[in-house]
Amino acid sequence: MAAKTSTNGTHHSLPEYIPNRIPDPHYVRILDTTLRDGEQAPGAAMTSDQKLQIARQLAKLGVDVIEGGFPSASQEDFNAVKMIAQEVGNNCDADGYVPVIAALCRCNERDITRAWEALKYAKRPRLMPFIAVSPIHMEYKLNKTKEEVLQIATDMIKFARGLGCTDIQFCSEDAARSDREFLYQILEEVIKAGATTLGIGDTVGITMPFEIRELVAGIKANVPGAENVIISIHCHNDLGHATANTIEAARAGAMQLEVTINGIGERAGNASLEEVVMALKCRGDHVLGGLYTGINTRHLLKTSKMVEEFSGMYLQPHKAVVGDNAFLHESGVHQAGLLKHRGTYEILSPEDIGHEKSNGVNMVLGKLSGRQALKSRLKELGYELRDEEVESVFRNFKAIAEKKKRVTDVDLKALVSDQASHAEPIWKLGGLQVTCGTMGSSTATIKLVTSDGSTHVACSVGVGPVDSAYKAINLIVKETVKVLEYSPSTVTGGTDAIATTRVVIRRENKQSPTPALNGNVIYPTFSGTGEGVDIVTSSVEAYITALNKMLDSKE
Amino acid sequence: MAAKTSTNGTHHSLPEYIPNRIPDPHYVRILDTTLRDGEQAPGAAMTSDQKLQIARQLAKLGVDVIEGGFPSASQEDFNAVKMIAQEVGNNCDADGYVPVIAALCRCNERDITRAWEALKYAKRPRLMPFIAVSPIHMEYKLNKTKEEVLQIATDMIKFARGLGCTDIQFCSEDAARSDREFLYQILEEVIKAGATTLGIGDTVGITMPFEIRELVAGIKANVPGAENVIISIHCHNDLGHATANTIEAARAGAMQLEVTINGIGERAGNASLEEVVMALKCRGDHVLGGLYTGINTRHLLKTSKMVEEFSGMYLQPHKAVVGDNAFLHESGVHQAGLLKHRGTYEILSPEDIGHEKSNGVNMVLGKLSGRQALKSRLKELGYELRDEEVESVFRNFKAIAEKKKRVTDVDLKALVSDQASHAEPIWKLGGLQVTCGTMGSSTATIKLVTSDGSTHVACSVGVGPVDSAYKAINLIVKETVKVLEYSPSTVTGGTDAIATTRVVIRRENKQSPTPALNGNVIYPTFSGTGEGVDIVTSSVEAYITALNKMLDSKE
């Protein structure tokens, strides 16, 4: 018995692994198919090495079964499954946990043999022969009768048993659209032939939760022997129902759930591991009859990021659980509520999925945010301002928020520095001439005028027009400046429209940094914006504005 | 009675609009809150003009109720709601359809008055006063007792009635976590006070489908007067259940569904309009008791793209219904099945949501694809190749597929051209020299080289360096080009970092536009990207790439 902290927060002993039954009736197995069905997402192909890294991470997460691939699809897929079986499939942890390594194969001897060749190195290998069981698939794709499909399935389960495999998941493709009497019949026969898990596929993602419930309940009630095997559910998200269907199947008695990290997969993807697991964690004890998984949710965020990077399947900001916005709050009403009690708008804790511990709530500052939220964020950043100072920063903040979708911490720091400076600009742009292109280095000549009217001219080369102009300015003002951010705006409607350029800078290595209240070091930063039809000139104006603020703050 | 083609494909007469009841028991109203709850997504702030454009599009889509904003949040929000009420809220179509325009307001006289000031111009204005009804919200956020909340709610519904508004939706925030006896009581009282719709919020996205069912059924069974008003459901997606919960609520008798385009909203967002509507379209007649909506689904894709662009909330490729991959198939098994019968793996038709009609199935070519899929796609692109030619393209295709996640049509065209040994871009950059600054007009000299090696030089002045360079290029290529979008990327870390510039163009007034099947006019657009440390040079490279695509497409 392996001891782990599982999804519902209490310290469970993980039930012993037996292919066809789970000693604890509340424990739900998680089969992750990121490396097989996930990789089938258009454009998501991964290398063997990336797959091995993901498999290691899935083991850290505590996934019960890792479906590593489809060995007969290509030599590379075979190699990936073999590597995973050899390494991850043998790496027992201190609690005795080691994931089952599984592989998909069509119902033919060649595929099954090939899959077994790759899998057999694992401590717990599982073969997953599949065949379609719906009328439309049998008629058009397989061109076979029900009787033929039934015969092939039972023969191939026996063949897999004959290879020495004792952990066999029969996968019924498109089961959701099957004729139920035929489905019950084929499942009964494969159990007799030696299958230990029954995979039930909603391959096209058409099912509603109450239908999934009936499907699973129907199998339990009508398939002799179903009580001696595990029912597993495999849902797709074409109608946005994959997560709900998976949870509903678990309620109905499917004790293995097939999911992918980030919900990637063919078309609209599969049920998301993180959504299914967090729903069980959040509601398992309350309304889902005590169901729980063995997943260590604190590894979710890292796993999600790894899969996002390797598969190239980037997530939308509002992806549930692991999206960038999943724990962010913007409206004034919500922010005010959160500052009083996090439970008002937060049902999951960001730390539970692996976010770093944060002092406050996760609020985004934008045009809907109020003074309290601004003040609270400034305090977190280490600024303790007087009310009239907050008021001044707030006015400038609102002006920026009207133009910019999201006011970042870099912006806020610049705003605080900005409100401290009031003086006349020290330097004004007197003139600018820049040459650039492919025929040589960019060259900029700049004329700056001081407040007393004296004129300074300098020139510099650089790697581009903006770089050379900034360098020429630095020669005149004699400061070492670091450009933190340079943001030209996107222009809709042509190159002669007015563009705004914004730049954020700080002085480099000259002034000792201000120590903040929270112990972090604050480097004062300064921002400037420039506007115009010439992107180079507006970039220079932005820089001079920021420089003037920086020079003013020294005095 | 307005006649429209509605989601289940048959030609229904849309039921007459009466605030508190729907003459057809199978018709489900869609309330779109993209402009209010959607805009609350962190970073999704939109301008008044963008909101007006989206509202126009929502009316084309046939949304029953457009929640236009929260007028007391800011002057801009007020203006947006007023503009929408004045224009979209008065624009009856030939069938007599005009959307209800609604606005959110807190339960106080100032908010309600302000919302009414903005709404009253609409033909069918609806006030949406909201107040939290859960113990945690009442105690920590409102700091009020149940009795106080009950009193405020009924007083404010009466106040709204007193302003002359006869269409009032009472919104119970966090109703899913409310004490049910209190919820029934407050709903009974607001009905007596004059509310015509009861908004039921799963504000924190914690509910499971069977709980939503109990919630709605409980209200119907226990709230006297509930039979004379509309029950509306508002679900969030924190546990990935928003779409399923919304459909389940409709099954239980909630005849108005609150959704957003693309599912955008606070944190993990709201239920997605396109998922809810397509689930009803796909399953309404079969298993959802004949429920249908008035949505014209062929406008879904365009609406989704508009909201994605304006809100900056980009979608993941596997977003259900409207994601780039939603109708794409990659694995060899699926592609083989599809080529025999589309129904094997496709339950929705891409054309139903507004994709252009395609001859074949939507398959992505990648490393898992076989010869049949390649040959089929080449045929769709108009290439009829001999077997040995296909074989040659297939070899090069596999080589590219190993390196590149997704082989696009552009890649395929290039591959075919390669094996027929022509191609090469039409124009290449031979040299560029640009002068700009404050001392005069920008001047650009450009050298372009054609594939046969001949050189063309031109110069032009312009309002900035990019503008002058593009104009010089136009002098050589002799095309009238419209720049639709010019997007330099933001650079973190200084002006010598590598920046990417992207430009989107179309040919102006030369070619007659392609009329699409849905009657809209399609202007072919072309994009190019350039990369480098010099923002002017990379902008020019992006433009030349886009131009070459445009010129190539002519042939």
State the CATH number of the domain containing residue A481.
3.30.160.270
Q: State whether residue A274 is helix, strand or coil.
A: helix
pLDDT of B354 above 80: yes
E strands present in A108-250:
125-132, 169-173, 197-202, 230-235
Q: State whether residue B77 is helix, strand or coil.
A: helix
Length of chain A: 555
- A204 and A142 belong to one structural domain: yes
Nearest to B438 among A326, A492, A537 (CB): A537
Sheet strand arrangement including A491-492:
A491-492, B481-488, B499-507, B525-532
Q: A287: buried, middle or exposed (CB in 10 Å: 19+, 13-18, 0-12)?
A: middle
For residue B341, give how far its alpha carbon lies from the nearest alpha carbon of chain A (Å).
6
Model confidence at B91, in pLDDT bands (50, 70, 90)?
very high
pLDDT value for B494: 64
pLDDT value for B303: 94
pLDDT value for A349: 84
pLDDT value for A462: 87
- From CA B47, how far away is CA B49, in angstroms rounded? 5
B42–A contact, CB cutoff 8 A: yes
Sheet strand arrangement including B427-437:
A455-462, A442-450, A427-437, B427-437, B442-450, B455-462
Helix locations, A5-69, DSSP H: 48-61
Residue A137 DSSP label:
I
A71–B contact, CB cutoff 8 A: no
Please, what is the average pLDDT of chain A? 87
- From CA A94, how far away is CA A353, in angstroms rounded? 23
Sheet strand arrangement including B491-492:
A525-532, A499-507, A481-488, B491-492
What is the percent of chain A with per-residue pLDDT over 90, rounded to a whole number? 53
- B406 and B453 belong to one structural domain: no
The domain boundary, picked from A400, A418, A436, lies at A418
- From CA A502, how far away is CA A208, in angstroms rounded? 50
Q: Please give the average per-residue pLDDT across B380-393, as a whole number.
A: 77
Contact B314 A317 (CB under 8 A): yes
The CA-atom distances, in angstroms, between A46 and each of A49, A77, A271, B18, B244 are 8, 10, 20, 55, 32
Q: Which of A410, A495, A529, A543 is best to mutate for the B interface (most B CBs within 10 A)?
A: A495
For residue B192, give how far its alpha carbon lies from the nearest alpha carbon of chain A (Å).
28
| Residues contacting B542, CB < 8 A, separation 6+ | B501, B502, B503, B528, B529, B530
For CA atoms B38, B244, B249, B352, give the dihedral sign.
positive
Q: B161: buried, middle or exposed (CB in 10 Å: 19+, 13-18, 0-12)?
A: middle
For CA atoms A511, A515, A520, A524, give the dihedral sign.
negative
Contact A317 B244 (CB under 8 A): no
* Residue B3 β-bridge partners: B13
pLDDT value for A47: 86
pLDDT of B12 above 70: no
Helix locations, A239-299, DSSP H: 242-252, 273-287
Task: Return the minimum-mean-pLDDT range out of A102-106, B16-20, B333-337.
Answer: B333-337
Task: Return the minimum-mean-pLDDT range out of A207-216, A333-342, B184-193.
Answer: A333-342
Nearest to B279 among A239, A266, A534 (CB): A239
pLDDT value for A525: 78
Nearest to B318 among A264, A288, A347 (CB): A264
* Helix (H) / strand (E) containing B492: strand B491-492
pLDDT of A38 above 50: yes
Confirm if A477 and A544 have CB atoms less than 8 A apart.
Answer: no
Number of H helices, E strands in chain A: 16, 19
Q: Which residue has the tokens 């008791």?
A: B289
pTM confidence score: 0.73
- B358 and B393 belong to one structural domain: yes
A180–B contact, CB cutoff 8 A: no
Contact A463 B140 (CB under 8 A): no
Model confidence at B94, in pLDDT bands (50, 70, 90)?
confident
Residues B217-222: contacts with CB under 8 Å, at least 24 apart: B217/B252, B217/B253, B218/B180, B218/B184, B219/B183, B219/B184, B219/B187, B220/B252, B220/B253, B222/B180, B222/B184
Q: Which of B39, B106, B272, B316 is best to mutate for the A interface (most A CBs within 10 A)?
A: B316
Tens of pLDDT, residues B167-226: 999 999 999 999 999 999 999 999 999 999 999 999 999 999 999 999 999 999 999 999
- B412 and B443 belong to one structural domain: no
Higher pLDDT, B433 or A223: A223
For residue B92, give how far its alpha carbon lies from the nearest alpha carbon of chain A (Å).
31
Higher pLDDT, B512 or A218: A218
Model confidence at A279, in pLDDT bands (50, 70, 90)?
very high
pLDDT of B521 above 50: no
What is the percent of chain B with per-residue pLDDT over 90, rounded to a whole number? 54
Q: Which amino acid is at B62?
A: G
- From CA B115, how far away is CA B129, in angstroms rounded? 9
Contact A434 B432 (CB under 8 A): no
Q: Which of A173, A438, A501 is best to mutate for the B interface (most B CBs within 10 A)?
A: A438
| Residues contacting A239, CB < 8 A, separation 6+ | A205, A206, B243, B275, B278, B279, B282, B283, B320, B321, B347
- B167 and B49 belong to one structural domain: yes
pLDDT value for A368: 72
Contact B40 A331 (CB under 8 A): yes
Residue A262 DSSP label:
G
- B454 and B520 belong to one structural domain: yes
Contact B325 A534 (CB under 8 A): no
Q: Chain B neighbours among A 240-269 (CB < 8 Å)?
A: 240-245, 247-248, 251, 262-269
Model confidence at B517, in pLDDT bands (50, 70, 90)?
very low
Residue A323 in domain: no
Task: Return the minimum-mean-pLDDT range out of A225-234, B5-14, B52-61, B261-270.
Answer: B5-14
Residue A20 in domain: no
- B442 and B407 belong to one structural domain: no
pLDDT value for A518: 45
Higher pLDDT, B552 or A131: A131
Nearest to B241 among A243, A431, A436 (CB): A243
Model confidence at B442, in pLDDT bands (50, 70, 90)?
confident
- From CA B64, how far away is CA B15, in angstroms rounded? 11
- From CA A241, how far away is CA B240, in angstroms rounded? 8
- B487 and B547 belong to one structural domain: yes
For residue A92, give how far its alpha carbon lies from the nearest alpha carbon of chain B (Å).
32
pLDDT value for A159: 98
User: Can you read off the two tokens belonging to residue A178?
Assistant: 């099957």
B435–A contact, CB cutoff 8 A: yes
- From CA A244, how far away is CA A272, in angstroms rounded? 10
Q: State whether residue B48 is helix, strand or coil.
A: helix
Please, what is the average pLDDT of chain B? 86
Q: Please give the average per-residue pLDDT across A254-258, as a whole number.
A: 98
Contact A287 B208 (CB under 8 A): yes
Confirm if B407 and B374 have CB atoms less than 8 A apart.
Answer: no
CB atoms within 10 A of CB A309: 11
- B394 and B440 belong to one structural domain: no
Residue A134 in domain: yes
Q: Which of B111, B267, B314 is best to mutate for the A interface (most A CBs within 10 A)?
A: B267
Residue B253 in domain: yes
pLDDT value for A2: 46
pLDDT value for B514: 46
Q: Which of A169, A92, A89 is nearest to A122 (CA)?
A: A89
CB atoms within 10 A of CB B49: 12
- B526 and B467 belong to one structural domain: yes
Q: Chain A neighbours among B 299-338 (CB < 8 Å)?
A: 312-321, 323, 325-334, 336-337
For the domain that residue B108 is a member of, what is the CATH number? Answer: 3.20.20.70
Q: How many domains are there within chain A?
A: 3
- In this structure, what are the phi and psi dihedrals at residue A427, rounded to the nearest 5 degrees? -120, 140
The domain boundary, picked from A368, A389, A418, lies at A418
Higher pLDDT, B46 or A239: A239
pLDDT value for A91: 93
Residue A324 in domain: no
Q: Please give the average per-residue pLDDT across B527-538, as a whole number.
A: 78
Range of the domain at B71: 29-311
Q: Please give the average per-residue pLDDT across B48-62, as a whole number.
A: 95
Nearest to A347 among B204, B243, B465 (CB): B204
Model confidence at A519, in pLDDT bands (50, 70, 90)?
very low
pLDDT value for B491: 55
Nearest to A344 among B137, B444, B463 (CB): B137
- From CA A230, how far away is CA A244, in angstroms rounded? 20
Model confidence at B237, in pLDDT bands (50, 70, 90)?
very high
Q: Which of B429, B489, B499, B441 is nearest to B465 (CA)?
A: B441
pLDDT of A370 above 90: no
B127–A contact, CB cutoff 8 A: no
Closest-CA residue of B relative to A335 is B141
Contact B287 A237 (CB under 8 A): no
Considering A194-203, A397-406, B411-420, the range whose residues carry the highest mean pLDDT is A194-203
Higher pLDDT, A529 or B293: B293
Higher pLDDT, A228 or B308: A228
* Residue B437 β-bridge partners: A433
pLDDT of B338 above 60: yes
Task: Return the minimum-mean-pLDDT range out of A370-384, B56-70, B464-478.
Answer: A370-384
Q: Please give the average per-residue pLDDT across A75-103, as a whole number.
A: 94
Q: State whether residue A336 is helix, strand or coil.
A: helix
Half-sphere exposure of A260 (CA within 13 A, CB side): 31
Q: Please give the average per-residue pLDDT across B525-544, as a whole number.
A: 81
Q: Please give the average per-residue pLDDT across A516-527, as a whole number.
A: 60
Q: Please give the average per-residue pLDDT across A174-180, as a whole number.
A: 97
What is the percent of chain A with per-residue pLDDT over 70, rounded to a whole number? 87
Contact A463 B492 (CB under 8 A): no
- A390 and A506 belong to one structural domain: no
- In this structure, what are the phi and psi dihedrals at residue A306, rounded to the nearest 5 degrees? -65, -45
pLDDT value for B519: 41
- From CA B48, how far away is CA B54, in angstroms rounded? 10
pLDDT value for B311: 85
* Helix (H) / strand (E) containing B396: helix B387-403
Higher pLDDT, A524 or B112: B112
- From CA A490, how far away is CA B73, in angstroms rounded? 27
Higher pLDDT, B200 or A2: B200
Contact B332 A73 (CB under 8 A): yes
pLDDT value for B233: 98
Contact A534 B442 (CB under 8 A): yes
Residue B325 in domain: no
- A162 and A295 belong to one structural domain: yes
pLDDT value for B417: 54
The domain boundary, picked from B367, B400, B418, lies at B418
pLDDT value for B358: 53
Residue B451 in domain: yes
B409–A contact, CB cutoff 8 A: no
Residue B169 in domain: yes
Q: Which residue has the tokens 């082989």?
A: B407
